[in-house]
Structure 1
């Protein structure tokens, strides 16, 4: 088969995973925040060298069926509030107050919208309505609105307003302001969710558009015919022109959850907590009984949206998170040094301490094998920074500072897990990301969890998880109160949209698997039930405030799998070297170092130890053991925790 390339773009590092139907090749490269398309191509070029023995970017691109891409760009844009100012035009005087409910919503509304809200009377005659709309749009744009969200309480009134606006402000007019119509964007009858969805999408769209179309254009320069596919937070992929910006938010963690689901099935685990520790954040999600925890109507930064979202919560603790001193207390994050300037040991001018600097000085990291030897770390820079910002201000030695900084990091990471641990004995932590395996055991012990699973592909596991996605589009229509004829027309309209969009994705509708569902919600928009809908069923009646008919059209791509767990005889793991690792202020242990790829299935050893995997380092503390599974993964067990 032709290759499939999965790319997960993070704030510090970008991960690339290439599958040829049998084998994986993967690599990492530094993210280039000045031009994210650059690290995309840097990573693919680097992967081509592993595959062909020499760099051959065109050769890899032209032997690839699809590139599926996930990026934190949208997430970071919202976190940093880097986007256009939004204006709202509505006929609901109380809408702004409703959207501000809750501290998080009030803060986000103030940053994205502020006072740029215009309320009109939608009951006027066309001529009076036209005059008022022109007046209010001009006022909003004068106040700085670069994009508008039209949010009428009634769908038909919004259609009338749309007709006027498109006549008065045609889209081809130079300098026209992009307009999103809330009912067109989503048929969700709950106004707050619908409008928030429109606001966030309008804010994210220009940032995503510039970068993604730039990447597509660069692919065309290489004569690549297949379009770039964007991986979404609902677990599916679609071409750039058919993707909604809002659905790129937190898409990388969904890839990690898909991989975690595969792990839970392979190892027969009842509850797996994903901790994906990157350079900037730790993302935590849950898989119970091989089911990813999701909300049909999710939330983003504390505000409700109309689209499905995985139950992933992020905290500002990662390999590049700043460890600082605040009022005499060592704190971790949420600020990050990212890829530029990066941790002090990167040698790019970083002046703040991170856990990467700590682990280098503790001896956990080998300065010459970081990123599989492709990047050398500078211990002297780490020593100077930690002495300056932590040790000297506290009046303690460097060694004491390192131990206290590590403890603060473990404690901060464990806080990300605690709320999701219902039964510690039945919970397994799946630790991945470049920084996850180094700290997972320390954090798990504090959270009371006794088992940690580190996949062999931990360093690129979210990119690996993207490999479980298909090309898909989902549609929905509010059919509450419709008679049989209206229901039939709505159903046919969904099918027409799916046929058109999947054709533009490159596939005929009869090549796709169709999934019809009926979703019932109460008057507050809370889910009552979601059931399959068959052509033989009668039309759904009025059984809730929202009765939604949904259609997902899915073109299935080849998927990889994880080998199921088998009982195998244990044998001693074989160490390849040793390393001096500081475990206390006055204690340095000589610990064995095991190279994961050299171990056979069943290999086992006790901590303290270091396991070097491809692009990651796993720390096995005192009291923990590790076993290498038939898939080459690490299963770690805490033997002394009660």
Structure 2
């Protein structure tokens, strides 16, 4: 079994990409927010029909080594504040102040924790501490806490509290409450980062657990023995039972970044800005020197966490973002209509305008070929919604409204990445709505070259192909001595061996990368260096930890490099009437990417229909088809 299935579950559409060792097969399906496993299996069935000529879900699943799954559920749960109330039991007297330093932290703390933080005196007599622990936990649950973070000043202090809590609140009783111990989740000695990591993880955990275990149960109905793997925001995958909920946050954009890094290597690009436009957001990240830009200590919603994270910024601008009128001006997002009800033209009852509706009425989209003809759009519904919500409030014609809405959308998308652009930047545009807006957003940001991969519509799912099964650990060294570091090393090695065995791999068949990390008391990093057993780790007055990354390699594709190809005029498959101004409609040539060959070229205005996407080439831009079948667009102005 060498087949790998990659799935990127978005707010509006779910992407499925299959790598069989020789090539990619991919498709898209509407996300079903009421039951995410429904769109997952609908997508697998749909892609099996592309592979075999007829739908055969069981055949595909039994030929598959792993299913790697990325989902926005954690991201959406945090945006919508859809999760349990969190309580904190701590021995750190100034912890609440440390957790509320910035406005972003204050907002998130109030929403997730509120007044559910109680402090213990660790120096009190043991019997008093034991009595107080019970009283405080009972009080937290009375205040509504469904999960409790236990935060001590050291692992040893938390272990003493754990002993009391296990005795007083045994796990087998109905009255037990899920507890998470901060030093178990992260070996980070900076208290605020470590506790914030626990708060966020506790909040995301139930949502992720319900869905992912539900998906696993459905897989077992097909007698699938290989586990479902969760793709993480550190670029690796692990089985559901061995995954940390916090590491699923923003995992889809990490897939896009890994794919962008592969493009940078294939095309020899020094700096690439990723622009991934989905239904709800535009995700932006940078690949510099063919490497993904990663923050050593990441942040979520402006809140610091203990884990590394790819440096991705999301803006509420997508194909399903609401375009409305506020105070006499056109606004774009951040509210989204999602997959249900979706854009008005979907015909599911949507009553708010989106760029999808705009592009349908402008003539950029064809009602009969959307999603490769699997879904028909309703122009009459778009016309009614835009007239009512934009044209009439502004006192302008429908035609003028369409042009101004498109320009507002271009400007909103451009603003999402303009601060990342320099003279040597290439914009990699993908996602279902990325190619449609690439040239319109690139020029205001100063970008003169755009790369649209042939697999743009599912590129984040394809990017997951450039990942392996892996685990990352970071544990603090209890004393600044070589002996203590060696003991930590051996404990981590044993832990990794158990975990990788449960993933289905022997540790001897994996690669292991060790790092020694030394930080100051304020959490700033002083040293990050390779580590081997027995190396000195003497850094008195500072915090030292060991980080171990264990990787079991999976087969990965090789992208075709950008080699010179003799140019030829791209054949035209048809034309489309596209409105370019309130009083002007142009006859624009339409090219079908699957009918073009490497070397085919053309100039805007033009439309290139790719698999599940529409690329718009505005006037003043040229395009060429590369040796890999991708599109490169250059600004001729």
**Which TM-score band (shorter chain)?**
over 0.9
Shift of 1:527: 2.3
The answer to whether the 8 Å contact 1:84/1:146 transfers is yes
The answer to whether the 8 Å contact 2:32/2:339 transfers is yes
Q: Secondary structure at the match of 1:33?
A: coil
What corresponds to 1:488 in structure 2? 486
Distance 1:263 1:46 in 2: 27
The answer to whether the 8 Å contact 2:4/2:19 transfers is yes
Shift of 1:555: 0.4
Distance 2:501 2:535 in 1: 29
What corresponds to 1:573 in structure 2? 570
The answer to whether the 8 Å contact 2:478/2:484 transfers is no
Q: Secondary structure at the match of 2:274?
A: strand
What corresponds to 1:466 in structure 2? 464
1:79-98 aligned at under 5 Å gives the runs 79-98=79-98
TM-score (norm 1): 0.98
The answer to whether the 8 Å contact 1:78/1:204 transfers is yes
What corresponds to 1:510 in structure 2? 508
Shift of 1:519: 1.6
1:93-104 aligned at under 5 Å gives the runs 93-104=93-104
What corresponds to 2:542 in structure 1? 545
Distance 1:492 1:480 in 2: 14
Q: Secondary structure at the match of 2:275?
A: strand
**C-alpha deviations, 1:16-54, integer Å up to 9, x for none?**
000110021100000000011111101000111111111
**Is 1:366 matched up with 2:366?**
yes
Q: Secondary structure at the match of 2:105?
A: helix
Q: Secondary structure at the match of 2:370?
A: coil
What corresponds to 2:265 in structure 1? 265
Cα distance 1:444–1:519, how it changes in 2: closer, same or farther (>3 A)? same
What corresponds to 1:499 in structure 2? 497
Q: Secondary structure at the match of 2:373?
A: coil
The range that moved more, 538-547 or 283-292, is: 538-547
What corresponds to 1:294 in structure 2? 294
**C-alpha deviations, 1:503-545, integer Å up to 9, x for none?**
000011111111111122222212233222234x622221662
Distance 1:254 1:373 in 2: 29
**C-alpha deviations, 1:352-399, integer Å up to 9, x for none?**
000000000000000000000000000000000000000011110000
What corresponds to 2:529 in structure 1? 531
What corresponds to 1:436 in structure 2? 434
The answer to whether the 8 Å contact 2:453/2:631 transfers is yes
What corresponds to 1:558 in structure 2? 555
Distance 1:544 1:636 in 2: 54
1:636 equivalent among 614, 618, 633: 633
Shift of 1:154: 2.6
**C-alpha deviations, 1:202-249, integer Å up to 9, x for none?**
000000000000000111111000000000000000000000000000
The range that moved more, 323-332 or 168-177, is: 168-177
What corresponds to 2:175 in structure 1? 175
1:348-497 aligned at under 5 Å gives the runs 348-421=348-421, 423=422, 425-479=423-477, 481-497=479-495
**C-alpha deviations, 1:92-125, integer Å up to 9, x for none?**
2221121011111000000000000111111122
Structure 2 unaligned runs (5+)?
Answer: none
The answer to whether the 8 Å contact 1:521/1:544 transfers is no
Distance 1:303 1:32 in 2: 30
The answer to whether the 8 Å contact 1:520/1:543 transfers is no
What corresponds to 1:306 in structure 2? 306
Distance 1:443 1:36 in 2: 32
What corresponds to 1:74 in structure 2? 74
**C-alpha deviations, 1:184-211, integer Å up to 9, x for none?**
1111000000000000000000000000
The answer to whether the 8 Å contact 1:494/1:551 transfers is yes
**Is 1:605 matched up with 2:597?**
no
What corresponds to 1:38 in structure 2? 38
Structure 1 unaligned runs (5+)?
Answer: none
1:313-332 aligned at under 5 Å gives the runs 313-332=313-332
The answer to whether the 8 Å contact 1:480/1:541 transfers is no
TM-score (norm 2): 0.99
Distance 1:558 1:189 in 2: 37
The answer to whether the 8 Å contact 1:186/1:194 transfers is yes
Distance 1:384 1:159 in 2: 63
**C-alpha deviations, 1:48-78, integer Å up to 9, x for none?**
1111111111111111110000000000000
The answer to whether the 8 Å contact 1:480/1:545 transfers is no
The answer to whether the 8 Å contact 2:430/2:453 transfers is yes
Distance 1:175 1:629 in 2: 63
What corresponds to 1:596 in structure 2? 593
Shift of 1:328: 0.7
Distance 1:23 1:592 in 2: 30
Shift of 1:483: 2.9
Distance 2:601 2:527 in 1: 47
The range that moved more, 440-449 or 119-128, is: 119-128
Shift of 1:562: 1.1
Distance 1:410 1:452 in 2: 15
Distance 2:482 2:444 in 1: 58
Shift of 1:480: 6.0
The answer to whether the 8 Å contact 1:525/1:545 transfers is no
The range that moved more, 170-179 or 130-139, is: 170-179
Distance 1:226 1:384 in 2: 49
The count of corresponding residues between Structure 1 and Structure 2 is 637
What corresponds to 2:121 in structure 1? 121
Q: Secondary structure at the match of 1:332?
A: strand
The answer to whether the 8 Å contact 1:275/1:429 transfers is yes
Distance 2:524 2:587 in 1: 57
**C-alpha deviations, 1:147-177, integer Å up to 9, x for none?**
0000112322111111101110111211311
